[in-house]
Structure 1
Amino acid sequence: MVAEFNSAFSINGLPIVYDDLSEVAYSLVKEGEPFEKEIGDFLLDWVSESDKILQRTSGSTGSPKDLYLSKKAMVKSALLTGSYLELGEGTRAVLCLPVSSIAGKMMLVRALTLGWKLTFVPPERTPLWSVSGDIDFIAMVPMQLQGSLKELRRVGKVLVGGAPVSKDLRQALLGKKTIVYESYGMSETASHIALRKLNPPVQGTPSGTVPAFQALPGITLEQDENQCLVVHAPFISPEPIHTNDLVSLSDAHSFHWLGRADHIVNSGGVKLIPELLEAQLEPVVDRRFFLTGIPDDVLGEKLVLIAEGKPDKDLLAKVKRSAAVEKYQVPKAVYFLDTFMEGKSGKILRAEIKAELFKNE
């Protein structure tokens, strides 16, 4: 099929016509760095006869699997983003995400479809240091945004996703004029289906208030019997997309994310949502950490805290003294690891860390 294409599209300052896409792609595959080879492979897929793109899911809605996304759905998603964020033809954009991810693929689709002037750089922690001049738009994961705070003055709009944005990072954005949106989405939804504006804060909004995610036009939301989010996006899938994300649903178009259903700890009959408690403990624990459950003869499961870095024998006592959480929500034990395993987006790999830590128990 002939893929959607806008003639204003350019790569690294070079205008590209549709008939030259294959040649550009072959050159990247043959001579490029590993991240450039991924770009070339995707461009070849985009101009191929197939009407679908193969994407390996991240496992957000179950075990990782191969997924085939319609090119038409990806184009529709790109058009929605362009319209919602007012990023039209001629937008100066930077691709700094691996194209193995749906987020990286969609940056290319947006550029091709909307006619952006795209610059691509290695998917490193400080991508803006590789780019000169002002930028209209860039999509990043939180660790890249954290590493780019000093350069944000050159950027008009940022889309951040792939992992939760910490309270400290949200705080670091205060006072900066760059417009930052946090995204919610997954491979199955061809990138994000909802956004929330983190910065600059809406006038009159209390300090520290986290806004709700707002669904893009044409997308509606509901909850299943387990309070998990269900997404209705007809342009992506004729069937509802069921997620494993616990949410507080404001209405059919907005929600607050609470945590993952598969992370819930059932301790003595009380269901604890680790992500909610982690947010409350963030000011108390001065390092990366997460909460999880492990088997317990009395409680069935007990809540424990796993922290990164050198052991601190006073950490649990500090948590108890803080009163940041209720007594029954205080972890029963603390475990330490020198370094956390993390995914490409910087997301902490909870299941893998837990399996490694307790493999001999």
Structure 2
Amino acid sequence: MVPTAKRELIHAQDQWSIAQLRTALESALSGSGPALGFGEISSANVSSDVAVVVTTSGSTGKAKEIHLSAAAVMASAKAANRYLNAEIGNSWSLLLPLTHIAGINVLVRAIELKSEVKDFRNTNEYAKVDFTAIVPTQLHRALTSESKLLKHLQDATAVLVGGAPLSSDDRNAALARGINIVTTYGMSETSGGCIYNGTPLNGVDVKIIENIIYLRGPMLAEVALEDGWFRTSDMGQLENGKLVISGRSDDQIISGGEKISLSTIERELNENFNSIFIAFAKPDQEWGERLCIATTLELPQDTISHFLKNKFGGHATPKEIHKVDEIPVVGIGKPDRAKIIERLVK
């Protein structure tokens, strides 16, 4: 039965200290205070069992609210701490924005451990902590240019890396430099990461139906379910019991009658050229949709075209390649395809 009673929702303020945020979050989770919203929240009231509200842009770039119960958020935190063998008093550092579930989760995990959170979001001076969480862009910067951040990550017992695909080059480089990275997969609808290093956290179930990933467990938000399962927009497979993500189901285009996964194109380009690419489509009278690529690299079109043709076949040869000054991002560092389309598709 869906709760009909309403609960007040207050918005987390940018000027709040970590201590103030933690107090408000603890009250929201315990039920002794109002629910807490992060980001651009329009709701003033929520269902009585909702403790946390976040916004997510998803794959379309259009923000939507995700309503999470205290039980879901705490189940996620407990499962994460259990996987990491975290103990009461172990500290976390905050390197992610609190407008994203990954940043909020750092606070919740620390609450569960009765431990300290050290806020390093706006500084390049760090202190040693037991655990932290970052996105692949931050890891890449640590490996290539930010030596103090690199030392911070090396000193941590484990570093969660999620929010976007991690290239194999950066993964291998991180391990070689002594960073104990744990790759995470999840989304706001699952209270953040629920698959660590390809393995479901305690209480989480995963299944694959026609290449689509379905998830089930106590960490789910108030979302539509199919026989108790949450249907993601991601494609993948189980290999030796581990989940391997292969792309998204909602980013396929059809060009000349052939299906092309934009995320798969991006992943292969990113890993081969060690940079960030965005693949997108433009309407085309001949092809239906034509594949286009945006990149900050100065690369001959033939270089990209030959690589994709050899990898996927002639239908994956891009019809346009756009050199841009920067790749726009959304959320905690995901390349913003919607913004590129807005700029380049006339």
TM-score normalised by L of structure 1:
0.75
Secondary structure at the residue paired with 2:330? coil
Superimposed CA distance per residue, residues 16-43 of structure 1 (whole angstroms, 9 cap, x where no aligned partner):
xxxxxxxxxxxx969656x887666545
Superimposed CA distance per residue, residues 195-216 of structure 1 (whole angstroms, 9 cap, x where no aligned partner):
11xxxxxxxxxxxxxxxx2111
Give the whole-Å Cα distance in 2 for the aligned partners of 1:315 and 1:40.
54
Structure 1: which 5+ runs fail to align? 1-27, 197-212
2:325 is the counterpart of 1:338: yes
Contact 1:39 1:99 in 2 (8 A): no
Contact 2:51 2:69 in 1 (8 A): yes
Which residue pairs with 1:8 in the alignment? none
2:246 is the counterpart of 1:258: yes
Change (3 A) 1:155 1:250: same
Superimposed CA distance per residue, residues 226-277 of structure 1 (whole angstroms, 9 cap, x where no aligned partner):
x3211111453683211111112347x5321111222112112211112223
Contact 1:55 1:187 in 2 (8 A): no
2:51 is the counterpart of 1:53: yes
Superimposed CA distance per residue, residues 63-120 of structure 1 (whole angstroms, 9 cap, x where no aligned partner):
5322221112211111111111101112121112222211111111111112223212
Secondary structure at the residue paired with 1:194? strand
Opposite residue 145 of structure 1, the aligned amino acid is L
Q: How does 1:92-103 map to 2 (within 5 A)?
A: 92-103=91-102
Change (3 A) 1:167 1:195: same
Opposite residue 71 of structure 2, the aligned amino acid is K
Which residue pairs with 1:130 in the alignment? 125
2:142 is the counterpart of 1:143: no
Contact 1:157 1:180 in 2 (8 A): yes
Secondary structure at the residue paired with 1:265? strand
Change (3 A) 1:92 1:38: closer
Question: How big is the alpha-carbon RMSD for the aligned residues of Structure 1 and Structure 2?
Answer: 2.8
Which residue pairs with 1:192 in the alignment? 193
Change (3 A) 1:176 1:214: same
Contact 2:57 2:330 in 1 (8 A): no
Give the whole-Å Cα distance in 2 for the aligned partners of 1:49 and 1:153.
38
Instruction: Give the CA deviation at 1:317.
Output: 1.0
Instruction: Give the CA deviation at 1:327.
Output: 2.6
Contact 1:30 1:37 in 2 (8 A): no
Structure 2: which 5+ runs fail to align? 1-11, 36-48, 144-149
2:288 is the counterpart of 1:300: yes
Q: Please say which of residues 264-273 and 38-47 is displaced more in the overlay.
A: 38-47
Which residue pairs with 1:229 in the alignment? 213
Which residue pairs with 1:161 in the alignment? 162
Count of matched residue positions in the alignment of Structure 1 and Structure 2 = 305
